[in-house]
Amino acid sequence: MFPGYLFLPPPGDKGAFIEVRKARGLVALLGPAWDRPALVPSRDIEAIRRLSESSQPALPHPYLKEGARARIDRGPLVGLEGILLRCDPGKGLMVLTVDLLQRSVAIEVDCTMISAA
């Protein structure tokens, strides 16, 4: 689901951290220091676990956040770029702006048809 990532509980001490760092193929551990690893919220870990145990197919999808620039990749508006205002399941609200005119319009788009610009 997330190639190249391994989710582990935080190492208890520096010795455990060093042993994890010795793992073959490991590039980096995420976090500012050995005693302050980046933590994935338990609700996210639970969601990943449940999805991996299910028979539900999981496909890669661009990571888009509200407020980010996005581009429409398919459909009649292909190529248009704007700012993603809202991303609900399946639908999102994208704002297209014409700076010269100082005007914007909002359109509803299928979130599966957009990617980061």
CA dihedral 84, 86, 88, 91 (to 10 degrees): -50
Report yes or no: 115 and 71 within 8 Å, Cβ to Cβ: yes
pLDDT of 101 reads 64
Residues of the chain with pLDDT > 70: what percent?
91
The string of pLDDT tens digits covering residues 8-46 is: 887 788 888 888 888 888 888 888 888 888 888 888 889
Calculate the CA 84 to chain-centre distance.
14
Q: Kindly state the DSSP code that residue 101 receives in the 8-state scheme.
A: G
Entry pTM: 0.55
